[in-house]
Structure 1
Amino acid sequence: MRDSTQSAIFGALSNELRMSSIANNLANVNTSAFKKDKLAFHDTFVRFAHDYLVDSKTSIRGKDMFPEGHIMAKARLSAQQPDFQQGSLERTGNQLDFALSGQGFFSVQGDDGMLYTRAGNFVTDSNGMLRTLDGHPVLVSGGPLIVPPGGRIEADGDGNVLVNGQPAGAFDLVDFEDPTALERAGSNYFVDPGGAGQIPPEELAVAQGFIEKSNVEVVTEMVSMIETQRAFTMYTKMIQTDSDLDTKLITQVGRPTA
């Protein structure tokens, strides 16, 4: 296989994954507190030994000792990580809506363990338990919070919760030394597979009656989509050109002349 064909294949596959990421970001532009994915490309240039020479001449008037360096590229993606940049806050006036300002997460009890989210658009079930929209209990001082029917819930900027004017605990707010080590579990939840380093949040405020909006910028994503489409088309043309050259080489080179 030609090196150019191999590079084009890696480039096309990378842009296919990039397009899927962009499509997912755009699909969640209206999802509360959604964090867009960002991609990183790995340096996969293959360099020859003489490409590392700082000065290839023995003197000012000397001739080049080596031919001009050649670098081959096999483009590929090295990482796909959520971008935890703060989204804008939108006022709702709903007493069960809470937004986080700063770096940190709400803790909720998932089916298979602890989940972390920034989406604070909570609801209460028939028993008055505070839950996420997906039904996961929101943890307040280590356990679920029960709000009596018609009860009034209040929270201050530090996350301390009052129910009908009586202290009911505080939201279990957490932060991580390395949030990029978290793994996405659904559109709005993250799990810690180990290594993220849970720490107490600093400079994290809770705003009641607000929700955090998605940090997806539609214009930026659309521009990236057009760029990705054009790059994918370029790589597929490279593959087709190489295929045509190989076909021509097989069918014409070595053919006896009349």
Structure 2
Amino acid sequence: MIRGLYTAASGMITETTRTDVISNNLANVTTTGYKKDETVSSEFERVLIRRINDGQVAPQIGELGRGSKIDEIYTQHEQGSTQQTGNTFDLAIEGKGYFVVDTPQGTRYTRNGSFNLAENGQLVTNEGFPVLAEGRPVQINGNGNVTIGADGRIALDNEQIATLDFVEFDDDRVLKKEGNSMYVAPQGERSRQATGKISQGQLELSNVNVVSEMVKLINAYRAYETNAKALQSEDSMLEKAVNEVGRG
């Protein structure tokens, strides 16, 4: 019975974590460039069940599960749909690639191309972090026509002034989320020129499917509820064993 308590509790912990991940996905369904997270769970190793008091050799009658755990929470980097905005400094990435941003914590990467032009002429994120071009903040001086090509080349009145840092990694899974649609790469991880394309006047939307996430949320809730009822049953049987069987 004690083992049953731990088994049910582990299932509840697993589903609580899964629910948190799904809830975060749903909360970011309108966040530009957001990539949804997924949980991977597994069972603890099963043990054999043998019948006792049945001669010298106890026959095997089955297996007993010992609960579950979350193995990994990983980010799905699949492409999100794009939305036309018409804004000069809205940039969407089609295919592989990340913009490079300078933050107080160091260099960060993002697919959120909702940029603005600061008063000092720098191209910045919504948080005010400079967007980098050739390792330096993008500086756009003047009120002329700004065009940004598919490869990141920035032109002011048809005169090229900079090229956005536009990179990709061999495996996107090495990147770790850091909030505000930013990613950090492990120390020593090398990037290369991105193979994707930049589209001016568009934004990449979140890749979260609301209907799919709601179905997952319902399933997680039902699994949690099942484990909670199992925990209550185990607790009730343990109470009887202590207060009635033990007393007899």
Q: TM-score, normalised by structure 2?
A: 0.91
SS of the aligned residue for 1:224 comes to helix
8 Å contact from structure 1 (residues 180, 196) kept in 2: no
Q: Is the 8 A contact 1:177 1:196 kept in 2?
A: no
In structure 2, what is the equivalent of residue 67 of structure 1?
Answer: 60
Distance 1:69 1:199 in 2: 53
SS in 2 for 1:136: coil
Q: 1:239 aligns with which of 207, 212, 231?
A: 231
The alignment partner of 1:9 has SS state of: helix
Q: Look up the match of 1:221.
A: 213
Superposition deviation, residue 156 in structure 1: 1.4
Alignment of 1:1-258 (within 5 A): 2-48=2-48, 67-194=60-187, 196-202=189-195, 204-256=196-248
Provide the secondary structure at the position in 1 that maps to 2:167. strand
Q: Name the % identity.
A: 32
Q: What is the CA–CA distance in structure 1 between the aligned matches of 2:61 and 2:164, rounded to whole Å?
A: 63
Please, which moves more after superposition, 70-79 or 24-33? 70-79
Query: How far is 1:27 from its partner?
Result: 0.9
Give 3-state SS (helix, strand or coil) of 1:245's partner: helix
* Alpha-carbon separation, structure 2, partners of 1:26 and 1:104: 24
Give the residue type in structure 2 aligned to 1:246. L
Give yes or no for contact 1:182–1:196 (8 Å, CA) kept in 2. no
**Which blocks of at least 5 consecutive residues in structure 1 are unaligned?**
51-64
Judging changes above 3 Å, is the alpha-carbon distance between structure 1 residues 82 and 195 closer, same or farther for their aligned structure 2 residues? farther
Deviation at 1:231, TM superposition (A): 0.8
Compute the TM-score of the two structures, normalised by the length of structure 1. 0.87
Residues in 2 aligned to 1:197 and 1:67: alpha-carbon distance in whole angstroms:
54
Preserved contact between residue 41 and residue 77 of structure 1 (Cα < 8 Å): yes
RMSD: 2.0
Q: Distance in 2 between matches of 1:109 and 1:33?
A: 18
Residue 8 to residue 43, structure 1, CA distance change in 2 (3 Å): closer
Q: Quote the Cα distance in structure 1 between the aligned partners of 2:59 and 2:233.
A: 31
Aligned residues: 241
**Structure 1: how far apart are the matches of 2:189 and 2:21?**
23
Runs of 4+ aligned residues of structure 1 deviating over 3 Å after TM superposition are: 194-197
3-state SS in 1 of match to 2:203 = strand
One-letter amino acid matched to 1:218: V
Maintained 8 Å contact 2:43/2:65: no
Contact 1:31 1:213 in 2 (8 A): yes
Q: Cα–Cα, structure 1 residues 198 and 4, in superposed 2: closer, same or farther, change >3 Å? A: farther
Measured against aligned partners, the alpha-carbon deviations of 1:49-95 in whole angstroms (never above 9, x if no partner) come to: x9xxxxxxxxxxxxxx9624414232010111111110001111111
Point out the structure with the larger strand share: 2
8 Å Cα contact 1:178/1:196 also seen in 2 = no
